[in-house]
Structure 1
C-alpha cells in the first residue's frame, strides 16, 4: 500500500517519518531485495528522498535500522522464560523466509563494526541457549555457537536461491540435515 505524501510538518514529523521509512524499507527489501532503489522506499513511506537521506545517509544505515529490529525480536524471544534454542531458530527461520536481505547484509558487511555488532547480537542469543540445549540432549556437546551460525548462513543461502512460496519447505529440509535444527 502506498502512502500519499503528507504536507511538510518540519522537525515535528521526524520520528514519524523515520518509522515510516523503516517500515517501508522492511517491505521493499523483503519483496525486491537489498539492492532495491531507495526512491521506492521513500515513495512507499510517503516522504521525499531528502527526508530519507536526512535520516539514513546510506543504504547500509537504512538496512541496519531495519535489521536491528530483527535482532531485537530474537533477543526478546531468547529473554522469555523457558525459551529454547529451537524457539530462536524458528524465529530466525521465519525472518529468513520473509526476507533473506537481513542475512545477506550481515554476510556482506561482517567486517564493518555495525554489521559485526548485529552478528555479535545473534551470536549472543544463540550462545545463551546452547547450554540448555546441550543439557537436554538436543545438541551434541561438540556443537558450538559458530556451528549454529554456519547453519543459519546455510539456511539463508539456500532460501536466497528459492522462490518465496517454496521457502518454508526448503527451510525444513535444511534444518533436517543439521543436528541442531528446530524440532
Structure 2
C-alpha cells in the first residue's frame, strides 16, 4: 500500500539559490501555518519541509527559532499596516485583518514575554516596537468620534486590542475568530470579515 505524504510533508523541488526571496517568504508562510496549529516548539525541520526547502536553507535565512518567529510577527504587523494604508480602508476592515492575525498568532505570546532574544533588540523592546506600529496603523484609519479614538482616553485603543487578544482561545481558527468577534462585540466595536489582507 502506497502512503502519500500529507500536505504538510509534501516537498516540491528545491527552488535553488536564485530563489532566496521566494524561499524566505515560503518559510515565513510555513512557520505561520505550523505555529498556529502546533505552537512555537515545533521542530524547525518541519517548517523547512512545509516550505519545500532543505533545513540548510532555513538556517541561512533564520539562524534560530526566535529569528523565524520574529519574522512571522514582523510580517503580521506589515500586513496590518498595509491594510490601514490601503485606499478605502475602514476601521472595521482593518480590525478584521488585525483580528485574523491575532487568531493566527496566539502561539507567539511566549516569544513576546521572553526574557531576551538573540538579535539587536530585546524581546520586550521588539514587542513594544511592534505594538507601537500596530497602534499607529489603527489610529491612522480611525475617523473622528470613533469609540476607540477618544482623545480623553488615549489608552483605550490598545487596551481593547489586548482584551480581545486575551479572548482568542480555542483549538481551531474558527473558534478563536468566534471568541475574538464576541469580545469586540462586547466592547461595542464593529469588525469586518476576519481574513488576511489581500493587497
TM-score by length of 1: 0.79
Residue 152 of structure 2 is matched in structure 1 by 142
Instruction: Check if 1:68 corresponds to 2:74.
Output: yes
Q: Distance in 1 between matches of 2:82 and 2:27?
A: 23
Shift of 1:80: 2.4
Paired residues of 2:14 and 2:53 also in contact (CA < 8 A): no
Residue 169 of structure 1 is matched in structure 2 by 178
Paired residues of 1:24 and 1:45 also in contact (CA < 8 A): yes
Paired residues of 2:14 and 2:52 also in contact (CA < 8 A): no
Change (3 A) 1:143 1:105: farther
Written as runs of structure 1 = structure 2, the 5 A alignment for 1:8-23 is 9=16, 11-23=17-29
Shift of 1:59: 1.5
Shift of 1:100: 1.8
List, as ranges, runs of 4+ consecutive aligned residues in structure 1 with deviation greater than 6 Å: none
Q: Which runs of 5+ in 2 are unaligned?
A: 1-6, 115-121, 193-199
Q: Distance in 1 between matches of 2:148 and 2:131?
A: 24
Q: Distance in 1 between matches of 2:138 and 2:14?
A: 45
Q: Which runs of 5+ in 1 are unaligned?
A: none
Instruction: Check if 1:127 corresponds to 2:144.
Output: no
Instruction: Check if 1:4 corresponds to 2:14.
Output: no
Aligned mate of 2:95, from 89, 95, 119? 89
**Could you say what the CA RMSD is over the residues aligned between the two structures, in angstroms?**
2.7
Q: Distance in 1 between matches of 2:52 and 2:147?
A: 51
Shift of 1:22: 1.4
Q: Distance in 1 between matches of 2:60 and 2:177?
A: 37
- Higher helix fraction (1 or 2): 1
Shift of 1:67: 2.3
- How many residue pairs get aligned? The number is 177
Residue 108 of structure 1 is matched in structure 2 by 113
Paired residues of 1:106 and 1:119 also in contact (CA < 8 A): no
Q: For 1:73-124, what per-residue CA distance to the aligned partner results, in whole angstroms no more than 9, with x for missing partners?
A: 211121123423222211111222334235x267425854433332221021
Paired residues of 1:22 and 1:65 also in contact (CA < 8 A): yes
Paired residues of 1:84 and 1:133 also in contact (CA < 8 A): no
Paired residues of 1:106 and 1:116 also in contact (CA < 8 A): no
